[in-house]
Amino acid sequence: MSPAGTTRAKKAPAPQKTARTAAKKTTTMKKTKSARGPTTRVPAAGPDTAHRMDLLEDMLRIRRFEERCVELYSAAKIRGFVHLYIGEEAVAVGVNEALTPEDAVVSTYREHGHALARGITAEAVMAEMYGRTTGCSGGRGGSMHLFDASRRFYGGNAIVAGGLPLAAGLALADHMRGQTHVTCCFFGDGAFAEGEFHETANLAALWKLPLLLICENNLYAMGTALERHEAQTDLAMRATSYGMVAWAVDGMDVEAVERAARQAVEGIRAGTGPHFLELRTYRFRAHSMYDPDRYREKGEIEQWKSRDPISLLTDRMRENSELSDEDVARIEQRITAEVDHAVEAAEQAPEEPVEHLLHHVTSSSARAVG
């Protein structure tokens, strides 16, 4: 299996308000000294450059957060199942750029990147990893069940394809209210083989629901290669059988992902029904921290790492004289401080007392009777 991906998305419109819009800062023409060579001239940052800087910072935030999770898991600070998003950052970041705060997101058990890209703070996500009350799910969800209703982020789901019917329900509710909101549902290639996908795709197309189906095709359903569980591996083509618009995209290129997602969201808001994007991506780590990862050749992994989404964007920006070593250092410094603070806050946050065990499980009246 080699890195591959195509996109037929049109050029994206100028960036609008998104669920994660950060303040855009422009800089004047300045001199910088790069370790890569002599003093270079970096042009003033225009809107496109500033936007690419935001994309880079968002992907780096996810990468560094996940790397810290590896360290904390190895030190037994966080436990349970942990599914890392390293390698797939372009998907979460690119797709979320096309969504507004009013749109809804339904995720999978590999959802740290989705949550961070949606704007849930690293502090809230890390506290949830620690099982602390300050976590985005009150410490009850852990790695696989991040949730924040205030951002319309309706959770990760430990069941393969389990989020798809929920996403259809959210989209149906918005549709019945006459709202133009979009529900975005992330799922993996393994979910394509589940009945929930086909039921959801059929009803969404039949009722023209405002549903964006994002298939993160990383080529493996846990340890099973795509060609071992699907007779036809062109998933976008198969999705068109439900009468919905669908196409494949290079999921390692964050700008290509954003263009495709914007085009799809534009079509959905126009009332043309659900859209399906097959984002061809790859996870650099094993399925989970428990997984010995013996089903892939090391050469395959290294081949995909040559198309690291972060490196692809930084190389493109350097070629366009949009990024200096100093820029990267400043971004890394900010993210390091952010993740350090998240870990410190999580370790100091309280655990839920045993007396609250039945909270959100039984009603207050039932607890009083008991």
Rg of the chain taking only CA atoms, in angstroms:
21
The values of phi and psi at residue 242, to 5°, are -90, 5
pLDDT of the residue at 43: 42
Q: Where are the domains of the chain?
A: 51-369
Residues 298-316, mean pLDDT to the nearest whole number: 94
pLDDT of the residue at 80: 87
Q: What is the pTM of this model?
A: 0.85
Q: State both tokens at 369.
A: 């009777």
Concatenating the DSSP letter of every residue in 75-138 gives: TTSS-S-----TT-HHHHHHHHTT--TTSEEE--SS-HHHHHHHT--HHHHHHHHHTBTTSTTT
Contacts of 217 (CB under 8 A, 6+ apart): 188, 189, 226, 235, 251, 278, 279, 280, 281
pLDDT of the residue at 18: 58
What is the chain's mean pLDDT, rounded?
87
Position 89 pLDDT exceeds 90: yes
Listed residue (218, 177, 184, 221) closest to 204, CA to CA:
184
First and final CA of the chain: distance in angstroms?
58
CB 33 within 8 A of CB 39: yes
CA 20 – CA 41 distance, rounded (Å): 30
CA 127, distance to chain mean position in Å, is: 19
Report the percent of the chain where pLDDT is more than 70: 86
Please write the tens of the pLDDT for every residue from 142-199.
Answer: 889 999 999 999 988 999 999 999 999 999 999 999 999 999 999 999 999 999 999 9
| Assigned architecture for domain 51-369 | 3-Layer(aba) Sandwich (3.40)
Please write the tens of the pLDDT for every residue from 106-142.
Answer: 999 999 999 999 999 999 999 999 999 999 999 999 8
Residue with tokens 């068109």: 240
At 238, is the secondary structure helix, strand, or coil?
helix
Q: State both tokens at 201.
A: 């795709």
Position 213 pLDDT exceeds 90: yes
Exposed e or buried b for every residue in 70-109, given b needs 16+ CB within 10 A? eebbeeeebeeebbbbbbbbbbbbbbbbbbbeebbbbbbb
CA 112 – CA 68 distance, rounded (Å): 12
